[in-house]
Amino acid sequence: MMKKNLILLLTFCSILSAQKLDGKKVFETYCWGCHHQSAVAFGPPFTEIASKRSFDEIKAYVIEPKAMYKSFGYKRSVMTQLHLNDDELDAIAHYILSYKGK
């Protein structure tokens, strides 16, 4: 009986982790055309963003570039406003920060 419960629990956990949103997927879906991980594209590379921004700053920028670009030191903003949900925002911010120091 115990063993069966344990197996059920493990199965449940692996289903949960499989559903966890993948930051790389969000990147490939929404950002890839303009940002690359370590090379300058239309926008700055993730390595550079990760070196100077916090988790919340990255999320705020993606939510509304037009509200943030001045405080980030840009004269104008050409980044499109995307409409990501909270899970996608968390996933992409973690993904970008994983490039810190790389």
Q: How many of the chain's residues bind ligand HEC (CB under 6 A)? A: 23
Interacting residues with ligand HEC between 3 and 22 (CB under 6 A): none
Query: CA–CA separation, 11 vs 95, rounded Å?
Result: 26
Query: CA–CA separation, 1 vs 17, rounded Å?
Result: 25
Task: Indicate which single residue of 36, 37, 43, 63 sits in contact with ligand HEC (rule: CB under 6 A).
Answer: 43
Least distance from C-beta 22 to ligand HEC, angstroms?
13
The verdict on 53 binding ligand HEC (CB under 6 A) reads yes
The verdict on 60 binding ligand HEC (CB under 6 A) reads no
Nearest to 59 by CA among 33, 86, 77: 86
Those residues with Cβ within 8 angstroms of residue 84's Cβ, 6 or more apart along the chain or in another chain:
26, 30, 62, 63, 92
| Interface ranges with ligand HEC (CB under 6 A) | 30-31, 33-35, 42-44, 49, 53, 58, 61-62, 65, 69, 72, 74, 77-80, 82, 92
